[in-house]
Amino acid sequence: IKLSMLTGLALAVLFYAVMLAGVAIMGRVIWWMARQYPQQPSLKRCMVFAGYVATPLFLSGIVALYPLVWLCALVGSIALF
């Protein structure tokens, strides 16, 4: 499927916003689950932790600018570890 530059840019911005929303949701889930433990971290600390965990996935998305399937698969699998 061919996309125009404007459509591709709009989809990239939307995808990035959805990824940030996913990190925020995951931070809230971590905070919700952490309430069961004696040391209860703040919501801010849980959000920072979720962002820290997702950082390799955000950085591996830079490789998608040069779309080679094998390169994207390699970097994506490395980012999961």
For residues 60 and 43, give the distance between their C-alpha atoms in angstroms, rounded to a whole number.
Answer: 26
- Looking at residue 9, its pLDDT comes to 84
- Looking at residue 72, its pLDDT comes to 79
- Looking at residue 79, its pLDDT comes to 78
Determine contact, residues 3/10, Cβ cutoff 8 Å: no
What is the rounded average pLDDT for all residues in the chain? 88
Of residues 9 and 33, more confidently modeled:
33
For residue 16, is pLDDT > 90?
Answer: no
Q: What sign for the dihedral angle of Cα 10, 25, 48, 72?
A: negative
Pick from 77, 57, 80: nearest CA to 69: 77
pLDDT tens readout for residues 32-69: 999 889 999 999 999 999 999 998 888 877 777 777 88
pTM of the predicted structure, to 2 decimals? 0.74
